[in-house]
Structure 1
Amino acid sequence: MPRPASFAGEGPVDPSAAHRLPRALVPRRYDLHLRPDLDQARFEGTVRISGEAASDVREVLLHAVDLQVAEASASAAEGPAVPCDVELEPEHQRLRLRPAEPLPAGPLRLDLRFSGELNDRLHGFYRSTYTDPEGRTRTIATTQFEATHARRAFPCLDEPDAKAVFAITLDVPEGLLAVSNGPVVDEEPLAGGGRRVRFGDTMPMSTYLVAFVVGPLVATEPVRAGGTTLRVVHVPGKEGLTGFALEAAAHALDFFTDWFGLPYPADKLDLVAIPDFAFGAMENLGCVTFRETALLVDPGRASQLELQRVADVVSHEIAHMWFGDLVTMKWWNGIWLNEAFATFMELLCVDHFRPAWRRWVSFGLEREAALAVDGLHRTRPVEYPVGSPEEAEGMFDVLTYQKGASVLRMLERYLGEERFRDGIRRYLARHRYANTETTDLWDALEEASGEPVRQVMESWIFQGGHPLVTLAEGPSGPQLRQEPFTYGPPLPGEPSAIGRHWEVPLLVRALPEAPGPATGAEPGGSGGDGEARLLLGAEPTALPPLPGGGVPVLNAGGWGFYRVRYPRSTLETLAGRLGDLAVLERFGLLGDTWAAVLAGQADLADLLTLAGGLAPREDPDVLGQLAGALRSLERFLDEDDLGALAACTRAIVAPSLAELGFERQPGDDERTLTLRSLVVALAGTVGQDPEVQERCRALFAAEQAGRADLDPDLAPAVVQVVAASGDRSTYEQLLDRYRHPATPQEEMRFLVALADVPDPQVAAEVFELALSEVRTQNAAFVLAALLGSRLHGPATWERLTARWDEVLARTPENLAPRMLEAVRWLCRDRALAERVTDWLAAHPLRSGQRTVQQALERLWVHVGAVERLRSPAPAALQAATARLGEGRGAAGR
C-alpha cells in the first residue's frame, strides 16, 4: 500500500540514492590479508577485489573511512596492473580510484594496500581489553561491521546487496588465537615470530557479516551439532561458563535445519564472547560475536530469566544464519525483516528448547514495550526509506525487533503454523545467496496459504501505529470497529506518523456465560473450532456468531498487535472471570487498561479492579504487566501519596507472598520461581514492606558471610530490595561484588543495583563510576538507571547536561539513545520536562534521534498522566486497598 500521507514529502523518493555507490565494479570475491598490531593499536593490510565491470572503467568508487590507502592498482582480465590515483572523501566515507588509463568492460580486479587504527569505539576493527589473573591488561582485536562499519577495516562495497565470497588471511602474533567466518585451512610460521592463518572461503555474503578476532583467547573443544562443528571462544578462566550456550546452540542448529528445510549454510560455527561489545550479539556468518552476559553463564548461579536471555540471544543469532545471512535484504530499509524474523524464530526455538519457560507468554512484556512506543505520534513504520549510515543505525529499535516479531506472530496464528512455515521455506529456497525486498516474503506466504498476505501485511509494515479494536452496539447488534490508538493529540505543530486503518486479522472467541469445570487446558488462542476468524477492515463489521455464545473475547489467545476496548459491562464480567481467560488474554486486558489510563480514556480504578482479580499463583508475566504500571505510579505520585501506593501494592501481592514465601518448595516449576522473585521485589520496593526488606537483608548478609547461598532465581530480587532500602554501607558491599563478580550476569546485577541506593551522594559517585571505571558498553545502562530513578533523576539530568561531551565520548553511538530513553521519567515537574525538551532539541544525536524524540513524547504523555492522576489516585488506591484487605498479607506470613 502507499505510504501514509504523514510521510509524503519527507526527503527524496529514494533517500538511499545519495548514499549508494555506482556499480562500476560488481564484486565477486575479496582476498583480504590483515596484520593487526595489538600493542600499537594499529593494523595494515591488503585487499584484492575481483569482479565484473559492465562498461569501460574510468573510475571506481569504494567505501572507506578512517583508513589510509598507500597504493592502489587495477587490472582487466589477465592484463597488467594499472596504477590508480587515490582520493579519499571522508565526508562521504568513500574512496575514489582513477586508473591511469581506462579499462575495458569485463573481469576487473582492484588491489589496494592500506592501514588503520584499532579504535576504542566498539565498531569497525576495534580493540577490547580484559585484566588477566596476574593483573595485566590484555588486548583483543575484534570487529563489529553492522550496519556500515566494514569500510573502517578495509576498502569495500559496503552495501548489503554487494555480496561476494571472502577469503581472509591474518598474521597473528605469537600465542594468540585467531577466528574468522571460515575454518582454518592453512597455517605457516612467520620469520619474525607468530604465524599466518588462512581461513576457508565463505559463501557469497554481505560485507557487514565479515568478522575476524585476534587475541589471548581460548576455545572449547569442538562438538558436533547437526553436522556442524561448534565451539565457544572466550577469555581464559571462563571455561565453566560455556556449557549452557553450547547446549542451546546445538539445539538451535538442529531445530532450524529441520524447520527451514535447508542445511546450515556455513562450514563451522564459533560463538565468541567479547569483553567489550556494544550490542547483544552479531550474526557474522560462522563467527558470531557476543557480549559476555549474552553467552557465558553458570546455570547454578543464574536465574531462569538470565538463562533465558542467553538462550534467546544464541537462538536469535543462529536463526540469522538462514534469515539474514543466506537470504539478505537488498537495503537497510529491509533490516526489520532480518531482525523481526530472527526474533520470531528465536522465540519459536527457545519455546521448543525449554517449554516450561512458556517463552511466547513472556514475550508479552516485550510486545507491550513495542505497543507503548507505537502509540506515539512520533512512531514510525516498521519499514521506511533509509538513506545515510546514521539512518540505518537508527533502525535497530523496539519497532524493528519487537513490533516486527509481534506482527509476524499475529500472521502465523492467523494463517496457521503449517501454511506459515511452508511459505517461509519457499522464500528461503527461492532466494538463497541472494537479496530480497519485503514483498518477496509476502508473495511466498501468499502462494503457500492462498490468503491476501501482501494486502494485510503492507497495512502493518508501511504505516506506523496500531488500531484500537472496539466492541460496541451497532444498528443491528454488536459490531467491531477500529480506530488508531493514540495517547492524545500530536505535539503542537507536528504531523502524526500513526496510520488510519489496518487489515486486522482478528481471532474472537466466546467466554461461556457461566464458569465451567477446570480442565487444566489453556483457554483461547488455539485457532480451533471455538474461535471466529475474520479480517477487520476500515468499516465496522458485525460481530460474527461465536460457538457456544457468551461473552466475546477479542484478540483470542492474546496474539494480536492491537489494543482492545470493551463496553463497561463486558469489562466488569471479564474482570470477574480472569481465571477463565488465557494468560495472554489476561495480560492484554491489563496492558490495554493501563494504556487507556495513560491516554485519559480509563480510570485508575479500572486497572486496580483487574488487579484484585489476579490469583495468588498468577502467571509471572501477567503480574509483571501490573508491576510495570505500579512502578510507573511510583514515579508519577507526589511523596505524600506514596504510602497509599505502597499499601495497595502490599495488598495486591500479599496472597502470593503468603502462598509462595521465600523458600523454594518441592514441585516448584520455573515459572513459580520467577513469580516468587517478582512478588518479593515488588513487595520490597514499591510496597515498602519492612518485613520483606528485613528478610532480604538477612538473606544477603548470610550470602555475603558465606553462611548460605542465595537461591539463583530469588537473588536478583534480593539484591534489588537490599539496594533500594540500603545506605552507604550497602553501596560499598554492592560495589565490591560488582568489582569481583562470579559471572557476567552477577557483574551486571550488582552494577545496575548501585543506582538504586537512595543516598544522593552515592548517586553522584555512581555517576562518576560510569564515566571512569565502568566499561563503555555498560555505562549507558548505569546512567539510564540513574536518570530513570524517582530519587536521582533530576540531579542526574543536571550532571549529564553539564558533562555532555564527556558522556558522549564514553558512550557507543547505538547506546546513547537507549540512555536517553530514561528521560520519559522526568515527569513530575512540568518545568523540568520543558527544560529537558528544549535541551535535547538543541543537542541532537548523530544516530538514533528518532528514539530520543519518542522518549520526549513519552515524557509528555507521562506529564499529562501525572497531572490527571495527582488528585484521584490516592482515593482510588485507598479504596482498592480496602477491597483487597490490607492486613491479610501479614497474617499469611
Structure 2
Amino acid sequence: MAEHLDPYRLPQTVVPSRYDIELAPDLDQATFTGSVSIDVEVTEPVETIWLNAAEIDVHTAEIEDASGQRTALSKIVHEAETERLRLDLGHTVPQGAYRLHLSFHGILNDKLRGFYRSVFQDDDGNEHVIATTQFESTDARRAFPCFDEPAFKAVFGVTLIVPAGQFAVSNAPMLDEQLMADGRRKVVFADTMKMSTYLVAFCIGPFEATEPMDVDGVPLRVVHPIGKGHLTDYALQVGAFSLRHFTEYYGIPYPDQKLDLVAIPDFAFGAMENVGCVTFREVLLLIDQQQATQPELMRAADVIAHEIAHMWFGDLVTMRWWNGIWLNEAFATFMATMAADVFNTNWQRWVQFSLDRSAAFEVDSLERTRPIEYPVHSPQDADGMFDSLTYEKGGAVLRMLEQYMGETAFRDGVRHYLNTHQYGNTETNDLWDAMEDVTDEPARRIMDSWIFQRGFPLISIDSDTEGRVTIQQQRFCFTPLDQDTTLWSVPVGLRYGRGGEVAEQQALLESDAIDINLGGDADWIVANAGGHGFYRVRYAPALLQHLTPVMMQQLKPIERYGLVDDTWASVLAGSTSAVDFLEFARGFSNETDLDVWTVLTSCLSQLDRLLDGEARQRYQAVLRELYGPALDRLGWEPRSDDAPRTLELRGLLIRSLAVAGQDQDALAACRRLHAQYLDDRASVEPNIAAVVAAAVASAGSREDYTAFVDRFKHAATPQEERRYQTLLAAFPGVDEMATTLEMTLNGEVRTQDAPYLVAQCMRNREQGVQAWRFMVDNWDQMMEVYPNNAIVRMLDGFKALSKPDIATEIEAFFQTHKVPQGELTLQQHLERLRVNAALREREAASLAAALVG
C-alpha cells in the first residue's frame, strides 16, 4: 500500500503504457487547460491509484475498463507536499487493462520549469510570448497528471491547441493540423517512442524552423524565434556531425523519427535532451561563426553533442531512478568531449577537458563532498544531483576507465549495454556488467570504488637507485582528515626515461601501496602519464628535481597542466607556500600551451586577491614579466595560419597582461581596439574583441558602463549579449555595481541569467561585498523569482569574499537561511570559503613580505 512507501514515490501496482495528452495554452492569460487519457495495467487489485501532479487543478477523473465502461472516481485528493494525486476508486479494481481520463487546468509559470512562459522582443521591439517546457527532473507533473518517475516508460501522443499563426513543435513529427471554429489550430503529433515523462516536450509561439537537413535518413532542423534563422548554420553542422558520430559509435540507428534543436529565449538549464525535441539556451544554439570566440564555438559544440549523445544513452536506455542520473550526464559529458575532439581536432578537446576535471577536483577536495551516486528521495534531492560531481567527475572517471580498458573494448561494452537494455531502465552496475561480459577487466570493482565513495586519492611516488618505484595512495582533502582509510582501484600510468629511451608501464593500485620494478634507475618519471587519471600526484623531492629541467621536453601539455594544478592544490591544502608556488610559476615563462597558461593565470589571480598596496604593485610587476614576453612571442596581430588554440591563447595573454598585470600600454591598446570594435564588429578578431572588452570593463568609467549596457541590450548575437551582460559585473565603481545589481531584479536581465550575474558581481574585487549585501537584502525576492536550480549556483560567487569579517558574516547568514534544493552544495561553498580564508590567513603576510622585501 502507498502509505508504507516512500511518500515521494508511486506504488508499482498501476503501470502506464500510453498517454494521449491534449493541451490548450492561453499565452495572454498565462494559463492552460488540458486532458489526458492514460492506458494502464493494474498488476494487483487496488482501491486507490496514485499519480503525480503539482500546481495543476484536476477537475474530473474517470476509469474505463476493457469493455469501454467509464466510471467517475469518487474522490480526487491532491497532496501538495509530496506532489501526488490520489484517485479513490470507491471499490476494488481487479488486475487488468484500464484507461484513465482526467481533465485539468494550470498556469504557465515564470519559474522556467514545468509548462512555463518565455517572453522576448524581436528586432523591431515587439514583444512575443512563448509557452514551452522543462520537465527534468520531476516537473512533467506541472503540465499534466502522470506517473512522473523514469521507470514508468510509455508512449506519448500529444495534441496541442494553439493560437492561429503560432508554431508548435513536440517530440514526434506533426501528423495533422485542423483549423477550429474559434480560429485556433489543433496540431496532432505522431506517437513517440517508449520513453520517460521527463523527456516529453512541447513548445508553442512565434518560432520558425530551418529546412530539414537529411542526416542519413533523419530530418534535422533548428527551431528558433522569428528573425534568427541566419544564426543556425553552425548548430546544423555540429548536429549533423554528432548524429553520424554517435550512430557509428553506438552501433544503433538514431532511435527516434526526427531531431529538432529548439532555441528558447528563457531557459534555466543549458539544454535538455527531450527525445526528438532538444531545447537550448539561445546562446548555445544560435551563433555567428565569424564573430564568436573559440570558447563560445567549443562550448556550443560540446552542448549540442552532449544532448544528442543522450538520445541513446539516457533516452533509449534510462536510469531507473534519479540516483542514477550521474550515469546519464557523466556519459553524455564524456561522449560530447569525444565528439568535439573529432569534430575539430585543433581544439585538442581532451587536453581542454583538464579544466573540467579541475572543477570536479575542487568540490571533491572538500570534506563535505559526496559520492557520485547517492540515495535520492524527494524532488529536491534530485535537483541537487546536477553538479560538477555528476557531470565533470563522472565524465572524468569514465575517461579514466576507457583509457585503462582500451577504447575499442570500452566501446564494445557500451554497445552491448545499449543493445541489452534499449527502451528499458537500468541501474549503474548494469553498465559495468555489460563491460565485463565483453572484456576481461574488473570494471565493476574498479568503478564501485569511484562511484560509491567520496573524494579521490593523492598518489605519492618515490623511487630508489635500483629502479624500484613505490606508489602510495591516501585521500586528498584541503583540510586534514582524521584516519581516513578510503582506498580506490586506481589505474596508474607511469612514463620514464633512461639513457634517452622512453618507456611506459601501467599498474592497478588497489591497496595502500605497491612497488613496481622499472628494471633500473630512471632519469625521470612521470606519474599519471597521459593525464587521464582522476587523482593528484605528489613526487618525492628528488623525483621532482629530476623532472623539472626536462618538463617542457618530456611532459605532454596535459601532464604539465596536471603538475600546475596539483601544485596549486597543495598550496590550498597548506603543503606548499604561496611564495614557492610563485617561484614555481616563473619556471613556465617559455610555456606555449593554452591550457597550461589557463590554469597558471587562474592560480596567479587567486594569489592576487591576497595582496594590497605596495605588495600588490610588486606582484603586478612580476606578472608583467611573466605575461609580457609570452605575448610578445605571439604578437598582438592575428595571423591567417593561427590555430584556434593560438587565437584563444593570444586573447588570454592580452587580458592577463592588461588586467592582472596592469600594464598601461596594454590597457591603452585594449581601449583603442574596443573602440574600433564598437565602430565595426568585423574589424577585430573575436577572441581579441572579447578580452579587450573585459580589460575596458576592469577599469571602466560611467561612460564606458553606459556603452556596455547599450551593447548588451542591442547585441547582434546571443554571444555578444551574454558577453557584455557578464562584463557589467566587472566595473570597479560603486554606482555601476548598484545599477547592475538592480538590473538583476527589475527585469532588464532575464531570470535565467540574473543569478549568474549576481555571482559574478560577488567575485568583483572592489565591490564584491556590495553585491553580497545586495543579495542578503533581496534574498526573499530572489528565492521567489529566480529558477530553483540557479540559486545555489548564484551562491558560488561568495567564495571569493575571504576576508575574515565578511566570511564570518556569510557563515552567520546561512545559519538561518536554507537552500533546500541545494543544501549540500551550499555547505560545500561555505567549506570552500573557509579554505580560502585559511589561505589568506596563512599566506598573505609572507607573500607580501617576499614581494616587498
TM-score by length of 2: 0.97
- Please give the per-residue CA displacement for 1:251-306, whole angstroms capped at 9, x wherever unaligned: 00000000000000110000000000000000000000001011110001001110
SS at match of 1:794: helix
Residue 526 of structure 1 corresponds to: none
Q: Which one-letter code corresponds to 1:502 in the other structure?
A: W
Residue 185 of structure 1 corresponds to: 175
**Counterpart check, 1:483 vs 2:474:** yes
Partners of 1:617 and 1:169 in 2: CA distance: 59
Alignment partner for residue 604 of structure 1, among 578, 587, 594? 578
Partners of 1:614 and 1:587 in 2: CA distance: 11
Alignment partner for residue 817 of structure 1, among 761, 770, 792? 792
Residue 224 of structure 1 corresponds to: 214
Asked if the contact 1:25/1:51 (under 8 Å) is kept, the reply is yes
Stretch moving more, 292-301 or 20-29: 20-29
Partners of 2:265 and 2:338 in 1: CA distance: 29
Once the two structures are superposed, the pairs formed by residues 287-686 of structure 1 within 5 Å of their partners are 287-473=277-463, 477-489=468-480, 500-512=486-498, 530-545=503-518, 549-579=522-552, 580-614=554-588, 616=590, 618-686=592-660
Residue 519 of structure 1 corresponds to: none
Asked if the contact 2:762/2:797 (under 8 Å) is kept, the reply is yes
- Please give the per-residue CA displacement for 1:565-602, whole angstroms capped at 9, x wherever unaligned: 00122223322222120111000000000000111101
Alignment partner for residue 62 of structure 1, among 51, 55, 60? 51
Offset, 1:877? 5.1
- Please give the per-residue CA displacement for 1:384-405, whole angstroms capped at 9, x wherever unaligned: 0111000000000000000000
Relative distance call for 1:863 and 1:166 in structure 2 (3 A) is same
Q: Which one-letter code corresponds to 1:71 in the other structure?
A: T
Asked if the contact 2:259/2:278 (under 8 Å) is kept, the reply is yes
Residue 29 of structure 1 corresponds to: 18
Asked if the contact 1:511/1:551 (under 8 Å) is kept, the reply is yes
Asked if the contact 1:470/1:480 (under 8 Å) is kept, the reply is yes
Offset, 1:552? 1.3
- Please give the per-residue CA displacement for 1:219-260, whole angstroms capped at 9, x wherever unaligned: 011111132000001111111110000000000000000000
Alignment partner for residue 161 of structure 1, among 151, 174, 181? 151
Partners of 1:348 and 1:216 in 2: CA distance: 35
Residue 886 of structure 1 corresponds to: none
Relative distance call for 1:269 and 1:486 in structure 2 (3 A) is same
Q: Which one-letter code corresponds to 2:49 in the other structure?
A: V
Offset, 1:509? 0.8
Residue 885 of structure 1 corresponds to: none
Asked if the contact 1:270/1:288 (under 8 Å) is kept, the reply is yes
SS at match of 2:753: helix
Asked if the contact 1:67/1:115 (under 8 Å) is kept, the reply is yes
Partners of 2:297 and 2:252 in 1: CA distance: 28
Q: Which one-letter code corresponds to 1:89 in the other structure?
A: E
Partners of 2:523 and 2:618 in 1: CA distance: 38
Asked if the contact 1:510/1:550 (under 8 Å) is kept, the reply is yes
Partners of 1:349 and 1:16 in 2: CA distance: 42
- Please give the per-residue CA displacement for 1:649-677, whole angstroms capped at 9, x wherever unaligned: 11111221111121102321111111101
Asked if the contact 2:175/2:190 (under 8 Å) is kept, the reply is yes
Relative distance call for 1:356 and 1:222 in structure 2 (3 A) is same
Residue 115 of structure 1 corresponds to: 105
Offset, 1:475? 12
Asked if the contact 1:530/1:546 (under 8 Å) is kept, the reply is no
Offset, 1:424? 0.4
Offset, 1:725? 1.8
Partners of 2:67 and 2:490 in 1: CA distance: 59
SS at match of 1:699: helix
Residue 776 of structure 2 corresponds to: 801
**Counterpart check, 1:754 vs 2:728:** yes
Asked if the contact 1:273/1:291 (under 8 Å) is kept, the reply is yes
Offset, 1:16? 8.7
Q: Which one-letter code corresponds to 2:490 in the other structure?
A: V
Asked if the contact 2:166/2:205 (under 8 Å) is kept, the reply is yes
Asked if the contact 1:16/1:386 (under 8 Å) is kept, the reply is no
Offset, 1:616? 4.2
**Counterpart check, 1:706 vs 2:687:** no
Stretch moving more, 139-148 or 615-624: 615-624
**Counterpart check, 1:697 vs 2:683:** no
Asked if the contact 1:468/1:482 (under 8 Å) is kept, the reply is yes
Residue 10 of structure 1 corresponds to: none
The answer for unaligned runs of 5 or more in structure 2 is: none
**Counterpart check, 1:38 vs 2:11:** no
SS at match of 2:789: coil
Q: Which one-letter code corresponds to 2:840 in the other structure?
A: V
Asked if the contact 1:35/1:172 (under 8 Å) is kept, the reply is yes
Asked if the contact 1:76/1:104 (under 8 Å) is kept, the reply is no
Asked if the contact 2:32/2:108 (under 8 Å) is kept, the reply is yes
Residue 238 of structure 2 corresponds to: 248
- Please give the per-residue CA displacement for 1:42-64, whole angstroms capped at 9, x wherever unaligned: 10111001021012231100000
- Please give the per-residue CA displacement for 1:180-239, whole angstroms capped at 9, x wherever unaligned: 000011111111112111111111100000000000110011111132000001111111
- Please give the per-residue CA displacement for 1:121-160, whole angstroms capped at 9, x wherever unaligned: 0000000011123322110000000000000000000000
Offset, 1:78? 2.1
Alignment partner for residue 259 of structure 1, among 242, 246, 249? 249
TM-score by length of 1: 0.93
Asked if the contact 2:367/2:477 (under 8 Å) is kept, the reply is yes
Partners of 2:319 and 2:134 in 1: CA distance: 19
- Please give the per-residue CA displacement for 1:771-794, whole angstroms capped at 9, x wherever unaligned: 111000000111001111211111
- Please give the per-residue CA displacement for 1:609-654, whole angstroms capped at 9, x wherever unaligned: 4423335461111100111101111222234422122112111112
Asked if the contact 1:125/1:142 (under 8 Å) is kept, the reply is yes
Offset, 1:75? 1.9
Partners of 1:363 and 1:675 in 2: CA distance: 16
Offset, 1:329? 0.3
Identical-pair percentage: 47
Partners of 1:268 and 1:761 in 2: CA distance: 51
SS at match of 1:815: helix
SS at match of 2:575: coil
**Counterpart check, 1:75 vs 2:64:** yes
Residue 723 of structure 1 corresponds to: 697
Stretch moving more, 85-94 or 337-346: 85-94
Relative distance call for 1:316 and 1:547 in structure 2 (3 A) is farther
Relative distance call for 1:499 and 1:755 in structure 2 (3 A) is farther
Stretch moving more, 469-478 or 767-776: 469-478
Residue 48 of structure 1 corresponds to: 37
Relative distance call for 1:548 and 1:181 in structure 2 (3 A) is farther
Partners of 1:877 and 1:504 in 2: CA distance: 40
Partners of 1:335 and 1:291 in 2: CA distance: 21
Offset, 1:473? 5.0
**Counterpart check, 1:786 vs 2:761:** yes
Q: Which one-letter code corresponds to 1:584 in the other structure?
A: I
Asked if the contact 2:50/2:85 (under 8 Å) is kept, the reply is yes
Relative distance call for 1:226 and 1:644 in structure 2 (3 A) is farther
Asked if the contact 2:232/2:287 (under 8 Å) is kept, the reply is yes
SS at match of 1:704: helix
Offset, 1:511? 3.6
Asked if the contact 1:341/1:404 (under 8 Å) is kept, the reply is yes
Asked if the contact 2:578/2:607 (under 8 Å) is kept, the reply is no
Partners of 2:837 and 2:288 in 1: CA distance: 42
Stretch moving more, 54-63 or 702-711: 702-711
